[in-house]
Structure 1
Amino acid sequence: MKIVPIMMLVLLAGAIFFAGCIEQKKEELLTLKVAYIPITSFGPIFIAKDEGYFAEQGIKIELLKFQSAQQAIPSLIQGDVDVSSTTINPALFNAIAKGANIKIVADKGSTGGQCDFNALAVRKDLYDNGSLTTIEQLKGKKIAVATRPNYLLIKALDKANLTSKDVESVDMGFPEIVAAFENNAIDAAVMTEPYLYQVLKMEKAEILLLSGEIIPNFSGYPIAFGPNLLEKNPELGKKFMIAYLKGVKQHNEGKIPRNMEILKNYTQFGTEILEGSCWGAIRRDGYIEKEPIMQYQDWLFENKYIDVKVSDDQILDMSFVEDANHVLKPDNGSII
């Protein structure tokens, strides 16, 4: 008659032990601070977080919002954030030349591909009346940019033998650029999605050139690691990359309901904008072509934006994606 109570005690003890194991597992999650901007190109990170891919690797992601990738670089260098998208610009090359331990470790979208989420856009009224339909006609115009020097703009101007001195460049964040197009306060801008779709949808802008037509295969805003993952805990960096590439794979499935739900939550853009904007394909294997980046560095050096050039292994570290692909293959593949 005492068997049932004893069994109940055993089961209860087992349940308590199991619950304790779960709680211990939760406590063992290591927090990584990830800088982000609420735009669609951060989709793989949002997806990997919400689908539990990071948790599978023992990682808890703390997202820290920045207005631009460029603003996050000092925090990455100082170790205040562990992971960030980075703008490939003079500040990055100069910081690395001076000893900053940050490296580009994975693709987050390159120019060209099945659709292009960056473009040089011009005011629709100027485009329609014929006064701004060519690169040559940009001379003397007011052009908004989110970063300086804006390599995309400069290379576009170069096609018409123009330089940055031939135009008036103004610094603006992407939301401000949208408002400026609405108010006819600018003539053109270097845009990214989904803000590009917004101004096209409002019929306030037209695309003059897609970024892939200006600089093919250029990874403008790749994933970068700082000293916390490069020096202190590279094993955690490898685990991050496994989860990230799983997020990339799902992201590249496109505008499926689950992806839409996740991106809508993090970007605060409505269904119409997310449906209409370009979600550029990100390399599923995470690799980055080094030649366009090194060519950009050559251009920066020739134009005196930087004083010293760095080697490709000082700025790029593909070992994390190599390790992640070794773990994920054949499931994740190595295709774009």
Structure 2
Amino acid sequence: MRFMQTIFSVAILALARLVVPQQALAEQADLRITIPVKALLYYPVFAAKDLGYFSEEGINMDIVVTQGDGPDVDALIAGSVQFAATTPNRLLTAYEQGKSLLGVMTISKRIAINCFMNKEKADALGVTESTPIAEKFQKLKGLTIGGTRPGAFTNLLAADYIKRGGMVPQQDARVIGVGAGPAMLAALENKQIDVGCIASPTPEIAVSRGKSIMFMNNTLGWDKEFEEFLFAVLYVRPDYAKANPETVRKVIRALQKANAYIINTPFDQQLTLLQKEYGELDPAILRDALTNTQSAIEPSGKISQRSVEAAEKLFISVGVLSKPIPWDAVTDNSFLAKP
């Protein structure tokens, strides 16, 4: 039965490419988009490409993975890419530095960085998945938390957790950069770090290996402090959006189609595409990771004032933003398709 489902899924993917209008294929515009890591958080970008949604809009999209946020936005500011789908820290800090960027669509309405803890350490500290959040944060004293790289959202989130535990980051608990995916798994299992923070599917893989527990599942809304949060955002430069408004709309339409597909299509019909992009992982791991991702997607793409203010609160807390920024100075919902 699974074999027939896989064959059916492959056929659907092939047909998706065949039905793209010939005129669109003949007039493809070459565009580039950066993402920080190849996590399920950015699955909509890959789905829009693989299912032909970008092509339907007349776009040949090149996806560039920068292995951590920072270089992804640097490329956007430098003009070597037209779009970035990434976390919101640079959207806000760049404004404060006089380098305005524009958020035109939200992909994730919640923080999609989840944290996992070394099981031996968790057992020693008496931490379980159901331990109250405030107590979990207090238990971070003396531990080392791994994010992808210094200044990345993963590291900033870890610093916020330390502060919410009543401690000083880097003094009472350390935050270090260890890279993404396999590098973070190895660091935790080799006890170089006690907690790792990154997007799916790495936390699910870690838990499935039996050497970790889920410490914080933000995509499922465990942390009520950030239940609505501007997280995965589609950025452009304001000058590019002004000069190319229809191109911005086309990219957004393609991503909205991808979001609808991800939310509404049964897992078994997505498995082939998921394994194409994220490797031959155990389907059970991919199912859990997809469920987490689906719960965080914002179907409308609309950026809310509340979500921007929640992001500002975190960045002010960890010292990368000095004061709140008017939310409509860095966002613009006018490129979204009207309901």
Following superposition of structure 1 onto structure 2, how do residues 235-314 of structure 1 map, counting pairs within 5 Å?
235-253=246-264, 255-272=266-283, 273-277=285-289, 278-281=292-295, 282-298=297-313, 300-301=315-316, 304-307=319-322, 309-314=324-329
Give unmatched runs, 5+ long, in structure 2. 1-20, 129-135
Taking a change above 3 Å as real, the CA distance of residues 228 and 194 of structure 1, as seen in their structure-2 partners, is farther
Contact map agreement 1:106 1:286 (CA 8 A) in 2: yes
Root mean square deviation, CA, Å: 2.6
Instruction: Identify the residue that residue 205 of structure 1 maps to in structure 2.
Output: 212
Following superposition of structure 1 onto structure 2, how do residues 313-324 of structure 1 map, counting pairs within 5 Å?
313-321=328-336, 324=337
Contact map agreement 1:105 1:225 (CA 8 A) in 2: yes
Do structure 1's residue 160 and structure 2's residue 160 form an aligned pair? no
SS at match of 1:213: coil
Aligned-pair CA distance for 1:271: 4.4
The residue type paired with residue 290 of structure 1 is Q
Cα distance in 2 between the residues matched to 1:154 and 1:107: 24
Cα distance in 2 between the residues matched to 1:158 and 1:280: 29
Instruction: Identify the residue that residue 76 of structure 1 maps to in structure 2.
Output: 76
Cα distance in 1 between the residues matched to 2:243 and 2:300: 25
Instruction: Identify the residue that residue 15 of structure 1 maps to in structure 2.
Output: none
Contact map agreement 1:97 1:309 (CA 8 A) in 2: no
Following superposition of structure 1 onto structure 2, how do residues 103-252 of structure 1 map, counting pairs within 5 Å?
103-111=102-110, 117-132=112-127, 134-146=136-148, 148=151, 150-164=155-169, 165-175=171-181, 176-211=183-218, 212-214=221-223, 215-227=226-238, 229-252=240-263
Contact map agreement 1:86 1:221 (CA 8 A) in 2: yes
Cα distance in 2 between the residues matched to 1:225 and 1:255: 32
Taking a change above 3 Å as real, the CA distance of residues 145 and 255 of structure 1, as seen in their structure-2 partners, is farther
The residue type paired with residue 123 of structure 1 is N
Q: Which string of whole-angstrom CA distances, capped at 9 and with x for unpartnered residues, describes residues 27-70 of structure 1?
A: 31112211133221222222222222222222121122221233
Taking a change above 3 Å as real, the CA distance of residues 205 and 240 of structure 1, as seen in their structure-2 partners, is same
Following superposition of structure 1 onto structure 2, how do residues 9-158 of structure 1 map, counting pairs within 5 Å?
25-36=24-35, 37-89=37-89, 91-111=90-110, 117-132=112-127, 134-146=136-148, 148=151, 150-158=155-163
Cα distance in 2 between the residues matched to 1:120 and 1:24: 46
Structure number with greater Rg is 1
Aligned-pair CA distance for 1:226: 2.7
For normalisation by structure 2, the TM-score amounts to 0.78
Taking a change above 3 Å as real, the CA distance of residues 255 and 162 of structure 1, as seen in their structure-2 partners, is farther
Give unmatched runs, 5+ long, in structure 1. 1-21, 330-336
Aligned-pair CA distance for 1:264: 1.8
For normalisation by structure 1, the TM-score amounts to 0.79
Aligned-pair CA distance for 1:75: 0.5
Cα distance in 1 between the residues matched to 2:95 and 2:313: 15
Contact map agreement 2:125 2:139 (CA 8 A) in 1: no
Q: Which string of whole-angstrom CA distances, capped at 9 and with x for unpartnered residues, describes residues 123-149 of structure 1?
A: 101212335553222101111122536
Contact map agreement 2:67 2:180 (CA 8 A) in 1: no
Cα distance in 2 between the residues matched to 1:252 and 1:92: 27
Cα distance in 2 between the residues matched to 1:98 and 1:235: 28
Aligned-pair CA distance for 1:303: 5.9
Contact map agreement 2:204 2:288 (CA 8 A) in 1: yes
Aligned-pair CA distance for 1:296: 3.5
Cα distance in 1 between the residues matched to 2:164 and 2:227: 14
Instruction: Identify the residue that residue 6 of structure 1 maps to in structure 2.
Output: none
Aligned-pair CA distance for 1:216: 1.4
Cα distance in 2 between the residues matched to 1:248 and 1:257: 17
Aligned-pair CA distance for 1:292: 3.6
Q: Which string of whole-angstrom CA distances, capped at 9 and with x for unpartnered residues, describes residues 112-168 of structure 1?
A: 7xxxx5323211012123355532221011111225364432343344322313201
Taking a change above 3 Å as real, the CA distance of residues 75 and 228 of structure 1, as seen in their structure-2 partners, is farther
Aligned-pair CA distance for 1:93: 2.5
The residue type paired with residue 259 of structure 1 is Q
SS at match of 2:47: helix
Contact map agreement 1:82 1:228 (CA 8 A) in 2: no
